[in-house]
Protein backbone atom coordinates (compact mmCIF):
# COMPACT_ATOMS: atom_id res chain seq x y z
CA UNK A 1 0.00 0.00 0.00
CA UNK A 2 1.43 3.36 -1.08
CA UNK A 3 0.25 6.70 0.30
CA UNK A 4 0.70 9.93 -1.66
CA UNK A 5 0.74 13.34 -0.03
CA UNK A 6 1.26 16.77 -1.61
CA UNK A 7 2.43 19.91 0.18
CA UNK A 8 3.90 23.34 -0.58
CA UNK A 9 7.71 23.45 -0.79
CA UNK A 10 8.42 27.04 -1.78
CA UNK A 11 8.01 29.72 -4.41
CA UNK A 12 10.35 30.35 -7.31
CA UNK A 13 11.81 33.87 -7.40
CA UNK A 14 10.46 36.14 -10.18
CA UNK A 15 13.73 35.88 -12.14
CA UNK A 16 13.21 32.10 -12.23
CA UNK A 17 9.68 32.58 -13.60
CA UNK A 18 7.88 32.57 -10.25
CA UNK A 19 5.34 29.85 -9.46
CA UNK A 20 4.60 27.55 -6.54
CA UNK A 21 6.78 24.48 -6.12
CA UNK A 22 5.05 21.45 -4.60
CA UNK A 23 6.51 18.40 -2.92
CA UNK A 24 4.98 14.94 -3.32
CA UNK A 25 5.64 12.35 -0.63
CA UNK A 26 5.24 8.71 -1.71
CA UNK A 27 5.41 6.19 1.12
CA UNK A 28 5.25 2.40 1.34
CA UNK A 29 6.21 0.09 4.22
CA UNK A 30 9.84 0.06 3.16
CA UNK A 31 10.54 3.21 1.10
CA UNK A 32 9.71 6.89 1.46
CA UNK A 33 10.47 9.29 -1.39
CA UNK A 34 9.93 13.04 -1.79
CA UNK A 35 9.75 14.60 -5.27
CA UNK A 36 9.43 18.23 -6.35
CA UNK A 37 7.40 19.69 -9.23
CA UNK A 38 10.56 21.74 -9.94
CA UNK A 39 12.87 19.63 -12.13
CA UNK A 40 11.02 16.43 -11.09
CA UNK A 41 13.70 16.36 -8.39
CA UNK A 42 13.97 13.48 -5.90
CA UNK A 43 14.94 15.37 -2.73
CA UNK A 44 14.70 12.50 -0.26
CA UNK A 45 14.74 8.72 -0.55
CA UNK A 46 14.58 6.81 2.71
CA UNK A 47 15.07 3.04 2.87
CA UNK A 48 15.56 0.55 5.69
CA UNK A 49 18.80 -1.07 6.81
CA UNK A 50 18.91 -4.66 8.07
CA UNK A 51 17.85 -3.47 11.55
CA UNK A 52 14.78 -1.82 10.05
CA UNK A 53 16.14 1.72 10.53
CA UNK A 54 15.33 4.29 7.84
CA UNK A 55 18.04 6.53 6.37
CA UNK A 56 17.94 9.07 3.56
CA UNK A 57 20.25 7.70 0.84
CA UNK A 58 20.27 10.58 -1.69
CA UNK A 59 22.19 13.87 -1.70
CA UNK A 60 20.29 17.15 -1.90
CA UNK A 61 19.19 20.32 -0.11
CA UNK A 62 16.73 21.22 2.63
CA UNK A 63 15.32 24.26 0.79
CA UNK A 64 14.21 25.23 -2.70
CA UNK A 65 16.98 27.84 -2.83
CA UNK A 66 19.59 25.07 -2.90
CA UNK A 67 18.03 23.63 -6.06
CA UNK A 68 17.57 26.97 -7.87
CA UNK A 69 21.27 27.82 -7.45
CA UNK A 70 24.00 26.10 -9.41
CA UNK A 71 24.42 22.49 -8.27
CA UNK A 72 25.43 19.18 -9.89
CA UNK A 73 21.88 18.11 -10.90
CA UNK A 74 21.10 16.49 -7.52
CA UNK A 75 18.04 14.23 -7.96
CA UNK A 76 16.81 15.97 -11.11
CA UNK A 77 15.40 14.77 -14.41
CA UNK A 78 17.78 16.05 -17.09
CA UNK A 79 16.99 16.66 -20.76
CA UNK A 80 16.22 17.03 -23.60
CA UNK A 81 19.43 15.08 -23.93
CA UNK A 82 21.19 13.66 -20.88
CA UNK A 83 24.97 13.66 -20.84
CA UNK A 84 27.21 15.38 -23.39
CA UNK A 85 26.86 16.47 -27.01
CA UNK A 86 30.23 17.25 -28.62
CA UNK A 87 30.69 20.98 -29.29
CA UNK A 88 26.96 21.35 -28.62
CA UNK A 89 26.35 20.70 -32.32
CA UNK A 90 24.45 18.24 -34.46
CA UNK A 91 22.97 18.16 -37.97
CA UNK A 92 19.46 16.94 -38.84
CA UNK A 93 18.08 16.78 -42.37
CA UNK A 94 20.90 19.04 -43.57
CA UNK A 95 20.33 21.71 -40.92
CA UNK A 96 22.91 22.39 -38.21
CA UNK A 97 21.76 23.04 -34.66
CA UNK A 98 23.93 24.83 -32.09
CA UNK A 99 23.27 24.30 -28.39
CA UNK A 100 24.52 26.21 -25.36
CA UNK A 101 27.99 25.13 -24.20
CA UNK A 102 27.89 24.54 -20.44
CA UNK A 103 30.57 21.88 -19.97
CA UNK A 104 33.85 23.05 -21.47
CA UNK A 105 33.47 22.81 -25.25
CA UNK A 106 30.35 20.62 -24.94
CA UNK A 107 26.66 20.82 -24.08
CA UNK A 108 25.67 18.85 -20.97
CA UNK A 109 22.27 17.65 -19.66
CA UNK A 110 20.09 19.89 -21.84
CA UNK A 111 22.03 23.16 -21.71
CA UNK A 112 21.74 26.41 -19.73
CA UNK A 113 18.18 25.83 -18.55
CA UNK A 114 17.33 22.19 -19.04
CA UNK A 115 14.44 20.12 -17.70
CA UNK A 116 16.03 20.21 -14.23
CA UNK A 117 15.45 23.97 -13.85
CA UNK A 118 11.79 24.33 -14.85
CA UNK A 119 8.41 23.89 -13.20
CA UNK A 120 6.37 20.84 -14.28
CA UNK A 121 2.59 20.32 -14.01
CA UNK A 122 1.77 17.55 -11.53
CA UNK A 123 -1.04 15.00 -11.46
CA UNK A 124 -1.46 12.80 -8.39
CA UNK A 125 -1.91 9.07 -9.06
CA UNK A 126 -3.10 6.37 -6.60
CA UNK A 127 0.51 5.24 -6.02
CA UNK A 128 2.59 8.09 -7.38
CA UNK A 129 2.75 11.32 -9.35
CA UNK A 130 2.95 12.22 -13.04
CA UNK A 131 4.62 15.42 -14.24
CA UNK A 132 4.02 17.04 -17.64
CA UNK A 133 5.61 19.85 -19.58
CA UNK A 134 5.76 21.16 -23.12
CA UNK A 135 9.31 21.99 -24.19
CA UNK A 136 8.73 24.53 -26.97
CA UNK A 137 10.32 24.39 -30.41
CA UNK A 138 13.77 25.99 -30.17
CA UNK A 139 14.12 25.66 -26.39
CA UNK A 140 17.85 25.46 -25.64
CA UNK A 141 18.38 25.16 -29.40
CA UNK A 142 16.48 21.89 -29.87
CA UNK A 143 13.92 21.45 -32.69
CA UNK A 144 10.24 20.64 -32.24
CA UNK A 145 7.53 21.09 -29.65
CA UNK A 146 8.22 18.22 -27.27
CA UNK A 147 5.52 16.96 -24.92
CA UNK A 148 7.10 15.15 -21.96
CA UNK A 149 5.61 13.04 -19.16
CA UNK A 150 7.67 11.77 -16.21
CA UNK A 151 5.84 9.35 -13.89
CA UNK A 152 7.07 8.18 -10.50
CA UNK A 153 5.26 5.24 -8.90
CA UNK A 154 6.13 3.45 -5.67
CA UNK A 155 5.16 -0.16 -5.07
CA UNK A 156 6.58 -1.78 -1.94
CA UNK A 157 10.37 -1.72 -2.31
CA UNK A 158 10.31 -0.58 -5.94
CA UNK A 159 10.38 2.96 -7.32
CA UNK A 160 9.56 3.12 -11.04
CA UNK A 161 10.41 6.15 -13.20
CA UNK A 162 8.73 6.22 -16.61
CA UNK A 163 9.57 8.74 -19.32
CA UNK A 164 7.31 9.40 -22.31
CA UNK A 165 7.58 12.01 -25.05
CA UNK A 166 6.10 13.04 -28.39
CA UNK A 167 7.48 15.63 -30.81
CA UNK A 168 6.28 17.85 -33.65
CA UNK A 169 9.71 17.74 -35.40
CA UNK A 170 12.52 15.20 -35.41
CA UNK A 171 14.66 15.79 -32.30
CA UNK A 172 17.24 13.95 -30.22
CA UNK A 173 15.98 12.89 -26.79
CA UNK A 174 17.51 10.98 -23.88
CA UNK A 175 16.05 11.40 -20.40
CA UNK A 176 17.42 10.25 -17.06
CA UNK A 177 17.21 10.91 -13.35
CA UNK A 178 20.43 12.23 -11.82
CA UNK A 179 20.15 11.08 -8.19
CA UNK A 180 23.34 10.76 -6.16
CA UNK A 181 23.24 7.71 -3.86
CA UNK A 182 25.09 6.82 -0.68
CA UNK A 183 23.55 3.72 0.90
CA UNK A 184 25.27 4.50 4.21
CA UNK A 185 23.08 7.60 4.33
CA UNK A 186 23.52 11.03 2.75
CA UNK A 187 26.29 13.02 4.42
CA UNK A 188 28.48 9.91 4.82
CA UNK A 189 32.08 10.59 3.83
CA UNK A 190 32.49 8.33 0.79
CA UNK A 191 31.18 5.28 -1.08
CA UNK A 192 34.43 3.29 -0.95
CA UNK A 193 32.80 0.51 1.12
CA UNK A 194 29.99 0.03 -1.43
CA UNK A 195 30.09 -3.06 -3.63
CA UNK A 196 28.96 -2.50 -7.20
CA UNK A 197 28.28 -4.65 -10.24
CA UNK A 198 27.18 -3.57 -13.74
CA UNK A 199 25.89 -6.06 -16.32
CA UNK A 200 27.89 -4.73 -19.28
CA UNK A 201 30.42 -6.41 -21.56
CA UNK A 202 31.54 -3.10 -23.07
CA UNK A 203 31.91 0.58 -22.25
CA UNK A 204 32.66 3.83 -24.10
CA UNK A 205 36.20 5.26 -23.77
CA UNK A 206 36.17 9.07 -23.72
CA UNK A 207 38.46 11.94 -24.70
CA UNK A 208 39.69 14.53 -22.20
CA UNK A 209 36.39 16.44 -22.47
CA UNK A 210 34.42 13.26 -21.62
CA UNK A 211 33.06 12.79 -25.16
CA UNK A 212 33.06 9.15 -26.38
CA UNK A 213 35.79 8.52 -28.95
CA UNK A 214 33.40 6.30 -30.92
CA UNK A 215 35.09 3.07 -29.87
CA UNK A 216 32.97 0.45 -28.09
CA UNK A 217 35.58 -1.24 -25.90
CA UNK A 218 35.39 -4.62 -24.16
CA UNK A 219 35.52 -4.46 -20.36
CA UNK A 220 37.34 -7.80 -20.18
CA UNK A 221 40.71 -7.47 -18.43
CA UNK A 222 40.22 -3.77 -17.55
CA UNK A 223 39.15 -1.73 -14.55
CA UNK A 224 35.80 -1.35 -16.29
CA UNK A 225 34.94 -5.02 -15.83
CA UNK A 226 32.25 -4.75 -13.14
CA UNK A 227 30.33 -7.88 -14.13
CA UNK A 228 31.26 -9.38 -10.74
CA UNK A 229 30.82 -7.20 -7.64
CA UNK A 230 33.82 -5.08 -6.65
CA UNK A 231 34.43 -3.03 -3.51
CA UNK A 232 34.66 0.46 -4.94
CA UNK A 233 37.53 1.96 -2.93
CA UNK A 234 39.83 -1.04 -3.37
CA UNK A 235 38.92 -1.28 -7.06
CA UNK A 236 39.78 2.37 -7.75
CA UNK A 237 43.14 1.88 -6.00
CA UNK A 238 43.93 -1.37 -7.78
CA UNK A 239 43.38 0.14 -11.23
CA UNK A 240 44.70 3.63 -10.34
CA UNK A 241 41.38 5.21 -11.30
CA UNK A 242 40.37 8.69 -10.18
CA UNK A 243 36.74 7.55 -10.41
CA UNK A 244 34.18 6.61 -13.03
CA UNK A 245 32.27 8.90 -15.38
CA UNK A 246 31.59 6.49 -18.22
CA UNK A 247 28.73 4.97 -20.18
CA UNK A 248 28.41 1.21 -19.88
CA UNK A 249 26.77 -0.43 -22.89
CA UNK A 250 23.82 -2.60 -21.91
CA UNK A 251 22.33 -5.57 -23.73
CA UNK A 252 19.93 -4.08 -26.26
CA UNK A 253 16.21 -4.72 -26.12
CA UNK A 254 13.00 -3.07 -25.00
CA UNK A 255 12.40 -5.44 -22.09
CA UNK A 256 13.08 -4.74 -18.45
CA UNK A 257 16.41 -6.16 -17.33
CA UNK A 258 18.63 -5.98 -14.26
CA UNK A 259 21.63 -3.80 -15.18
CA UNK A 260 23.34 -2.80 -11.92
CA UNK A 261 23.43 -3.64 -8.24
CA UNK A 262 24.88 -1.74 -5.28
CA UNK A 263 25.39 -3.34 -1.86
CA UNK A 264 26.49 -1.60 1.34
CA UNK A 265 27.69 -4.38 3.67
CA UNK A 266 27.72 -2.38 6.97
CA UNK A 267 24.02 -1.43 6.72
CA UNK A 268 22.86 -4.34 4.54
CA UNK A 269 21.16 -1.96 2.11
CA UNK A 270 21.03 -3.00 -1.53
CA UNK A 271 19.80 -1.17 -4.60
CA UNK A 272 19.11 -2.85 -7.91
CA UNK A 273 18.70 -0.87 -11.13
CA UNK A 274 16.46 -2.36 -13.83
CA UNK A 275 15.81 -0.53 -17.10
CA UNK A 276 14.72 -0.60 -20.75
CA UNK A 277 17.46 1.90 -21.69
CA UNK A 278 20.53 1.01 -23.83
CA UNK A 279 23.13 2.59 -21.54
CA UNK A 280 23.99 3.47 -17.96
CA UNK A 281 26.39 6.25 -16.95
CA UNK A 282 28.29 5.24 -13.82
CA UNK A 283 29.56 8.36 -12.07
CA UNK A 284 31.36 8.41 -8.73
CA UNK A 285 30.89 12.07 -7.78
CA UNK A 286 34.41 13.00 -8.94
CA UNK A 287 33.53 16.72 -9.16
CA UNK A 288 32.03 17.00 -5.67
CA UNK A 289 34.47 19.05 -3.60
CA UNK A 290 32.83 19.67 -0.23
CA UNK A 291 31.84 23.24 -1.13
CA UNK A 292 28.06 22.62 -1.18
CA UNK A 293 26.06 22.66 2.04
CA UNK A 294 23.54 19.86 1.73
CA UNK A 295 20.75 18.46 3.88
CA UNK A 296 21.26 18.80 7.61
CA UNK A 297 24.34 21.00 6.93
CA UNK A 298 26.16 17.97 5.48
CA UNK A 299 29.04 18.65 3.10
CA UNK A 300 29.59 16.45 0.07
CA UNK A 301 33.25 15.73 -0.68
CA UNK A 302 34.61 13.91 -3.71
CA UNK A 303 33.37 10.31 -4.03
CA UNK A 304 30.69 10.84 -1.34
CA UNK A 305 28.01 9.44 -3.67
CA UNK A 306 27.51 7.53 -6.89
CA UNK A 307 25.11 7.95 -9.81
CA UNK A 308 23.71 5.23 -12.06
CA UNK A 309 22.06 7.21 -14.85
CA UNK A 310 20.12 5.01 -17.28
CA UNK A 311 20.10 6.71 -20.67
CA UNK A 312 21.04 6.59 -24.32
CA UNK A 313 24.76 6.65 -25.11
CA UNK A 314 26.42 10.09 -24.88
CA UNK A 315 26.81 12.06 -28.15
CA UNK A 316 24.70 9.46 -29.98
CA UNK A 317 23.27 12.20 -32.22
CA UNK A 318 26.76 12.53 -33.76
CA UNK A 319 27.63 8.82 -33.78
CA UNK A 320 25.49 6.89 -36.31
CA UNK A 321 26.66 3.49 -34.96
CA UNK A 322 25.34 4.31 -31.46
CA UNK A 323 21.74 3.39 -30.50
CA UNK A 324 19.08 5.56 -32.12
CA UNK A 325 18.51 8.81 -30.22
CA UNK A 326 16.17 10.58 -32.66
CA UNK A 327 12.44 10.81 -32.02
CA UNK A 328 10.27 11.45 -35.09
CA UNK A 329 6.77 12.92 -35.27
CA UNK A 330 4.16 10.17 -34.81
CA UNK A 331 6.51 8.07 -32.66
CA UNK A 332 6.58 7.78 -28.87
CA UNK A 333 9.66 7.85 -26.67
CA UNK A 334 8.93 5.47 -23.79
CA UNK A 335 11.49 4.17 -21.29
CA UNK A 336 11.26 2.99 -17.70
CA UNK A 337 13.83 2.54 -14.94
CA UNK A 338 13.10 0.68 -11.72
CA UNK A 339 15.04 1.11 -8.48
CA UNK A 340 14.55 -1.82 -6.11
CA UNK A 341 15.65 -1.49 -2.47
CA UNK A 342 16.31 -4.45 -0.21
CA UNK A 343 18.49 -5.59 2.65
CA UNK A 344 20.99 -8.43 2.70
Annotated binding site for beta-D-galactose: 83-84, 178-180, 245
CA distance 121 to 131: 5
> Which residue ranges are tagged as binding site?
83-84, 178-180, 245
SS3 assignment, position 65? helix
Q: Please enumerate in sequence order all residues whose Cβ is within 8 A of that of 230, keeping only pairs 6 or more positions apart, or say none.
A: 195, 196, 197
CA angle, corner 42, sides to 120 and 195, nearest 5? 145
Pairing assessment for the beta strands 121-125 and 89-92 based on DSSP bridges: unpaired
CA distance 252 to 258: 12
35, 77 contact by CB (below 8 A):
no
Active-site hit among 34, 46, 140, 178:
178
Helix (H) or strand (E) holding 6: strand 3-11
Helix (H) or strand (E) holding 279: strand 279-283
Question: Is 178 a catalytic site residue?
Answer: yes
Point out which residues pair with 10 in neighbouring strands. Answer: 21
Active-site hit among 109, 140, 309, 335:
309
Task: For 282-316, give the secondary structure using H, E and C.
Answer: EECCCCCCCCCECHHHCECCCCCCEEEEEECCCCH
Question: Is 309 a catalytic site residue?
Answer: yes
Alpha carbon of residue 294 to chain centroid: 18
CA 274 to each of CA 94, 219, 250, 257: distance values in angstroms, whole numbers, following the listed order = 37, 20, 11, 5
264, 194 contact by CB (below 8 A):
yes
**Residues labelled catalytic:** 178, 309
Amino acid sequence: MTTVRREAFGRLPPEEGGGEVEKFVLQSDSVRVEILSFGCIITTLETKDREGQFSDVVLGFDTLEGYTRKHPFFGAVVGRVANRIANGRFTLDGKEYQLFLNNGPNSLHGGAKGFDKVLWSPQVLPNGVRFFRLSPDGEEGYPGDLKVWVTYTLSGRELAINYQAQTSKTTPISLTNHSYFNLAGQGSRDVYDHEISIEADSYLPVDDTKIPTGEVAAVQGTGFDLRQPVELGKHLQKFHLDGFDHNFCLHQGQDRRLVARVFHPPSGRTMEVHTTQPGIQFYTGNNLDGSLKGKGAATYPKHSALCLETQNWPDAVNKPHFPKVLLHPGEEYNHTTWLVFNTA
